[in-house]
Structure 1
Amino acid sequence: MAISKSKREVVYQKYNGRCAYCGREIAYKDMQVDHLLPLRAWGIEDAGTDDIDNLMPACRMCNHYKRANSLETFRRYIEEIPRKLRDNYIYKVGVAYGEVVEQEHPVKFYFERQEG
């Protein structure tokens, strides 16, 4: 089901024109509407809805990376990035020369930081 223009505008304003996940500013025309709880996904019993509470403004990068995964699966994917990068030779050179600084930490999404 397509999301109406009026609903898209409400979703966009939820976090003042920022991606609910990474927190970067996004232009309205570039915003993608993500279902926090996917409508249907592998391993998820409860299906999400098109209610405003379940719709999140997302940049293309975050929406693409999250796909139809749960929030916790998405969080795990983000937290695994440093380990995956360590296998990359260019990354290793960057660390050796101090151009890349590793700062692993638990992932807290932008919308979570705004709520508490």
Structure 2
Amino acid sequence: MQVDHVKSVYTNLDLRETMTEKEMYDEENFMPTCRQCNFYKSTMTVEDFRKRLQTTMMNNLRKNFGYRLAVKYGLVEGKNKEYCFLF
């Protein structure tokens, strides 16, 4: 696990400068995340990251043989373009 900043410190320091140092490093701006999610979220907001997961990454995942096999055997369900992994 890694510590992710809910509001990007990089974006704030280099572009916006709307947050104080206390706000950037306050406990409320921290969120536990796995290394991969922290890397791919980058400077996006949580909402933007979720949208990206639902579109770009899910479209790429659907092309994967393992995903198609999981759908075939009922290990993945789909509702309104939102997917839930059952395994």
Please give the TM-score of this superposition, normalised by the length of structure 1. Answer: 0.48
Question: % of aligned pairs identical?
Answer: 30
Q: Give me the CA root mean square deviation.
A: 3.2
1:54–1:101 CA distance, 2 compared to 1 (3 A): same
Listed as ranges, the gaps of 5+ residues in structure 2 are none
Match for residue 82 of structure 2? 105
The structure whose residues are more often helix, as a share, is: 2
Name the TM-score, length of structure 2 as normaliser.
0.59
Distance 1:79 1:93 in 2: 17
SS of residue in 1 equivalent to 2:11: coil
Question: For the residues of structure 1 that align with 2:9 and 2:32, how far apart are their CA atoms?
Answer: 16
Q: Distance in 2 between matches of 1:56 and 1:41?
A: 17
Give 1:1-116 correspondences, 5 Å limit. 31-41=1-11, 45=16, 46-47=18-19, 49-80=24-55, 81-86=57-62, 88=63, 90-91=65-66, 93-94=68-69, 97-98=72-73, 101-103=76-78, 104-105=81-82
4+ aligned runs moved over 2 Å, structure 1:
44-48, 81-86, 95-106
- 1:33 and 1:96 map into 2 onto residues whose CA distance is 33
Question: Going by fraction, where is strand more abundant, 1 or 2?
Answer: 2
